């Protein structure tokens, strides 16, 4: 069984105009087979959505559902969704009726059975889309023909991709320095990017709004809502960039983050 939802390099690629036929319903004989034995890394935006889904404290969410690792080359946090122990190692969110967090499921689950790879290009993000065709999945060759763009639109993955691409950019810039984050910056990245409840406390405690250009964003960042969390994560990505590199184009009032 496949153990990842990250697209490996050897999968067939779909170009933007290419189409694939796919249909997945609770009546498909393989229903839920794809929701087990996964190595599923969660992005900051995945954690944002899951935390809001459960109305959870971020410490509890990460402790209950993830195993925390770090990217070896950058040192950034890498929370892996922890499969349950026992037969078949199911995802903690799968039920006989399907995904119990469906409206807030991770981006990789939304993209599946496509996988999306993104890299920094000369003029923006270079996106590649792959078909993840696994033996147990019986959804192929049924249903409408769809392009990757249509599939992603139907799965409402746009906000995930936009945020994940920002995280990818930050990691790419860090990787280019040739050394991973030191422990202090690694811990700060975990708090700011994956624990927005704690990040808001940090904003208040450190008077961060007095130190950067964010006047027009402050209310949105502190609002307790999905849109507020999205604004907070956007700001957190800026703040971590400032902390690592001493400069961030959108936060230019000061370069001192200590």
| Options 105, 116, 200, 217; binder of ligand SF4; rule CB under 6 A | 105
* Six token digits for residue 224: 């307790």
The Cα–Cα gap between 197 and 61 comes to 12
Task: Give kind and range of the element (H or E) at residue 151.
Answer: helix 148-154
Question: Is residue 114 close enough to count as binding ligand SF4 by CB under 6 A?
Answer: no
Question: Is residue 31 close enough to count as binding ligand SF4 by CB under 6 A?
Answer: yes
Question: Is residue 132 close enough to count as binding ligand SF4 by CB under 6 A?
Answer: no
The Cα–Cα gap between 218 and 213 comes to 10
CB 75 within 8 A of CB 185: yes
> Taking the mean position of all CA atoms in its chain, how far away is CA 256?
28
Q: What are the two backbone dihedrals, phi and then psi, of residue 126, each rounded to the nearest 5 degrees?
A: -90, 120
**The one segment of 41-49, 102-110, 149-157, 162-170 that binds ligand SF4 by CB under 6 A:** 102-110
| Options 63, 64, 69, 136; binder of ligand SF4; rule CB under 6 A | 136
| Options 101, 111, 231, 237; binder of ligand SF4; rule CB under 6 A | 101
**The one segment of 123-131, 134-142, 180-188, 212-220 that binds ligand SF4 by CB under 6 A:** 134-142
| Options 2, 33, 80, 159; binder of ligand SF4; rule CB under 6 A | 33
What is the strand order of the sheet 114-120 is part of?
A: 13-14, 125-131, 114-120
Q: Which residues bind ligand SF4 (CB under 6 A)?
A: 24, 28, 30-35, 38, 91, 93-94, 99, 101, 105-106, 109, 113, 136-139
């Amino acid at each position: 069984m496949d153990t990842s939802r990250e697209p490996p390099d050897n999968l067939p690629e779909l170009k933007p105009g290419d189409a694939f036929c796919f249909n997945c319903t609770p009546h498909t004989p393989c229903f839920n087979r794809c929701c087990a034995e996964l190595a599923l890394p969660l992005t900051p935006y995945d954690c944002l959505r899951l935390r809001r889904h459960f109305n959870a404290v971020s410490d509890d969410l990460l402790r209950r559902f993830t195993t925390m690792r770090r990217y070896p080359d950058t040192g950034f946090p890498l929370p892996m969704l922890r499969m349950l122990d026992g037969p078949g190692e199911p995802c903690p969110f799968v039920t006989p009726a399907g995904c119990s967090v469906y409206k807030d499921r991770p981006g990789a689950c939304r993209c599946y059975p496509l996988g999306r790879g993104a890299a920094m290009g000369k003029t923006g993000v270079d996106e590649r889309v792959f078909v993840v065709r696994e033996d147990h999945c019986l959804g192929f060759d049924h249903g409408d023909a769809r392009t990757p763009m249509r599939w992603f639109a139907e799965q409402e993955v746009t906000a995930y991709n936009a945020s994940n691409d920002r995280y990818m950019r930050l990691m790419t810039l860090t990787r280019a320095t040739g050394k991973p984050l030191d422990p202090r910056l690694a811990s700060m990245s975990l708090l700011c990017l994956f624990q927005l409840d704690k990040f808001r406390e940090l904003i208040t405690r450190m008077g961060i709004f007095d130190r950067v250009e964010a006047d027009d964003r402050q209310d949105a960042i502190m609002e307790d809502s999905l849109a507020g969390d999205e604004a907070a994560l956007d700001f957190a990505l800026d703040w971590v960039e400032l902390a690592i590199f001493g400069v961030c184009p959108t936060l230019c009032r000061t370069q001192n983050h200590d």
